Structure 1
């Protein structure tokens, strides 16, 4: 049986160059400048479908990279509305290795009305997290001390303009110290990761010679819940569907037509309930069949990671986890999740009606081995087995007359499969060693993250090791309202990137 290499031996097998005190000294001397540049970048709206503002972001990044001598250029797709990759490079004379550092500059769509006090693209400092009673602060003057426990609130503070500013500031710090990276550095800032990266594969394919390297490091996501740095060797894939159930052609008075006209909200609720048992196991036939077995190395890594489950349950106010599994064990399986439900109105806006439609959005986070299109096919087969007629368009008059239970299933654009780099990959060993040298505890090595990143598209074009390194606080509210980053995590992220750029592989 394959045996996982103990962390101490793993670190001894890699040559790490601890980041010099000069990087921290540079940050301390330039905190206000760094924060100001970050705030300016966060103030530009960055939803991937907002083409004018995405272009504003790209041009801002071009200027930031030009100032640093990184020879930036835009890598475009065939369609002019495609968010471009912003590319830059730092070549090192005599370097025998090349690494790509990736982050994305787009962010999730958001509903400004749901944000607390400050709009999503109006960066706002608070003394602490909102939940801890943090109060609003003005952006500090140059003569005011910056508290590392402050939180900065705005869309993409953590996901993922943090990665962008960390890469650029680490370059500043190394250049100020007159220190070169240990390898050639190529920089890729993507502009549609949160939209599923539908054009990333195309852009990569058009630029293969330019982007050739010995591996990619993805700067995205949080540190471990314990606060320790972590290196993640894989990501889950992702796909999703929208399911709409149909009743009458128009909403009906519940008194005149109740108990007579079918209610699509009830129909959809029963359908969703049929997909999972009381313990959370998915009941769709064959749903887990393609999940790759979890190897001994991966299981050992999970066992070695800190157990934060009880603390997380307490913080989140949940009595038990779904299925009773540990969090990291749950991430190794394909999941089925209801993202949201909509049918007429509730609360003060509720009316006594039978709604005409009900819609649910579902996502599936895919384990290694599961195929995104095939997983959707399995769910559609389950829906049909529950007695529903499935259509890909609005039901026709003929379908309405013929079928008592109709749902429309719409596949989301931009799905992709999971990727996992072997845990004994030299790039992985070196990265774990480099981050472990930054603190008094070893960095955590995990086989996969819970989230998804477009590593599948990268792997299809460049079969090299792919790792992700997160820097944000784990309670950063990414993808939700009140997204934030703890200032100390911003400072730590700069040292993380600098350590990776100066490590030996």
Structure 2
């Protein structure tokens, strides 16, 4: 029966691509209020698609934010139940002038489909929908039961989904959660992301005099908020890039040798990366490899630093305020709330006299990790290797999907991250795209996985 399912996917490829284009045309940008109606339209599109492919139940459900789509197909009460999580919302498209084609007019070039959401995450969500359609239509007794949870706020940190999941935990009950919202480490290399970093962020506002001042009349005699802010920012790390915030590393367990060995097997070409990025050197915390620094070690980065005159030419002012935005990527078992508290205290402890400093917390999310020798992880690797004919790499993702840790906590089942994107597909950037090679092989991999789970 598995062969019939895979053949169905091949026979219907052109129809699937047309349907994917219809999905990608919806500008479901969750961060911008003017696109609210489009996010609702995207939710309704997913609901209708679930009905079309034969789900017993498909509904758009209210949350405290954007609507959530839930669906289920229960074929056999004794079979394993898979909950597929994904998101229909997408990032803003600015700067538009850097796109080679319209962000919401999908275009196929060089066997890649270009559009906002192509790889993050509409394209990968759509793959699951089509594989489930193939299984339901071709197999009278599907190997697993399907449940689907597709949200519309992942790109703004999933602020309302944890509450929704807690209130609907019985409805969402499953044996495992499968998420396709990540990438292979390189083309043709199966990759399972068995952990994700958490997130903690703050904004630092520094205010000086009650207005901008003439730098000739007041410079040298009044504290410049930008100088004060730079001193605060510089205090965060030492010369070896070790973060100086009190207790920042307190809760982090030692990395096991098995994990370090597995990470050492992840393909990495330093010279190629430097060339691709246009930089002369890489940098990071002393004592760790690049792969470790970007996956299993915590970070503190300045995401924005501004104040004073920003226009063309020069304006000789001493600005009255300056702002920095800081985010930390966290690893198990760091607590985002604790880290924000420590960051805030560090800022106040290092603030120069003569200015007022305010710290505002924002994005927070817990880190997540599943043992990579878990049976559902190993079956995912087996499915990948059957299709890609290559060994699986096991990595911890450097980014954050905050809801993954919440689903793990609420549902108490393993979460398997089976991504099919590639690192260079410009997610969150102009010219986002998805390689159709992975669109095809990814659906075949998912089909194999569902049947392996059924065993």
Tell me the equivalent position of 1:243: 204
Tell me the equivalent position of 1:108: 91
Q: CA deviation at 1:334?
A: 1.5
Tell me the equivalent position of 1:120: 103
Q: Does residue 66 of the first structure (1) align with residue 51 of the second (2)?
A: yes
Q: Does residue 328 of the first structure (1) align with residue 291 of the second (2)?
A: yes
After superposition, the Cα gap between the structure-2 partners of 1:344 and 1:42, relative to the gap in structure 1 and judged at 3 Å, is farther
Residue 358 (structure 2) aligned to one of 408, 423, 427 = 408
After superposition, the Cα gap between the structure-2 partners of 1:425 and 1:450, relative to the gap in structure 1 and judged at 3 Å, is same
Alignment partner of 1:72: what SS?
Answer: strand
Q: Is the 8 A contact 1:166 1:490 kept in 2?
A: yes
Residue 168 (structure 1) aligned to one of 129, 136, 144 = 129
Tell me the equivalent position of 1:191: 152
Q: Distance in 2 between matches of 1:251 and 1:225?
A: 50
Q: Is the 8 A contact 1:162 1:472 kept in 2?
A: no
Q: Distance in 1 between matches of 2:432 and 2:44?
A: 24
Q: Is the 8 A contact 2:114 2:431 kept in 1?
A: yes
Tell me the equivalent position of 1:282: 243
CA displacement 1:247-294 (0-9 Å, x = unmatched): 222333434433334322222122111111233221222211111222
Q: Is the 8 A contact 1:226 1:306 kept in 2?
A: no
Q: Is the 8 A contact 2:188 2:390 kept in 1?
A: no
Q: Distance in 2 between matches of 1:490 and 1:264?
A: 50
Q: Distance in 1 between matches of 2:108 and 2:218?
A: 53
Alignment partner of 2:123: what SS?
Answer: helix
Q: Does residue 426 of the first structure (1) align with residue 375 of the second (2)?
A: yes
Q: Is the 8 A contact 1:298 1:423 kept in 2?
A: no
Tell me the equivalent position of 1:383: 347
Tell me the equivalent position of 2:22: 40
Q: Is the 8 A contact 1:234 1:421 kept in 2?
A: yes
Tell me the equivalent position of 1:491: 440
Q: Distance in 2 between matches of 1:371 and 1:321?
A: 26
Q: Distance in 2 between matches of 1:116 and 1:187?
A: 32
Q: Distance in 1 between matches of 2:283 and 2:448?
A: 36
Q: Distance in 2 between matches of 1:250 and 1:126?
A: 52
Of the structure 1 ranges 54-63 and 311-320, higher mean CA displacement relative to structure 2 is found in 311-320
Q: Distance in 1 between matches of 2:15 and 2:173?
A: 33
The 5 Å alignment of 1:468-487 reads: 468-487=417-436
Q: Distance in 1 between matches of 2:314 and 2:38?
A: 36
Q: Is the 8 A contact 2:5 2:447 kept in 1?
A: no
Of the structure 1 ranges 455-464 and 106-115, higher mean CA displacement relative to structure 2 is found in 106-115
CA displacement 1:11-40 (0-9 Å, x = unmatched): xxxxxx9x63752x4344333322222222
Residue 355 (structure 1) aligned to one of 301, 319, 324 = 319
Tell me the equivalent position of 2:72: 89
Q: Distance in 1 between matches of 2:223 and 2:305?
A: 18
After superposition, the Cα gap between the structure-2 partners of 1:121 and 1:261, relative to the gap in structure 1 and judged at 3 Å, is farther
Q: How does the TM-score come out when normalised to structure 1?
A: 0.82
Q: CA deviation at 1:58?
A: 0.6
CA displacement 1:17-67 (0-9 Å, x = unmatched): 9x63752x4344333322222222122122224332211111111111111
Alignment partner of 1:338: what SS?
Answer: strand
Tell me the equivalent position of 1:393: none
Q: Distance in 2 between matches of 1:32 and 1:351?
A: 58
Q: Is the 8 A contact 2:228 2:351 kept in 1?
A: no
Of the structure 1 ranges 432-441 and 243-252, higher mean CA displacement relative to structure 2 is found in 243-252
Residue 11 (structure 2) aligned to one of 18, 29, 35 = 29
The 5 Å alignment of 1:178-327 reads: 178=139, 180-318=141-279, 319-323=281-285, 325-327=288-290
Q: Distance in 2 between matches of 1:117 and 1:342?
A: 30
Q: What is the aligned residue count?
A: 446
Q: Distance in 1 between matches of 2:336 and 2:95?
A: 32
Q: How does the TM-score come out when normalised to structure 2?
A: 0.91
Alignment partner of 1:433: what SS?
Answer: helix
For structure 2, the residue ranges without an aligned partner over 5 or more in a row are none
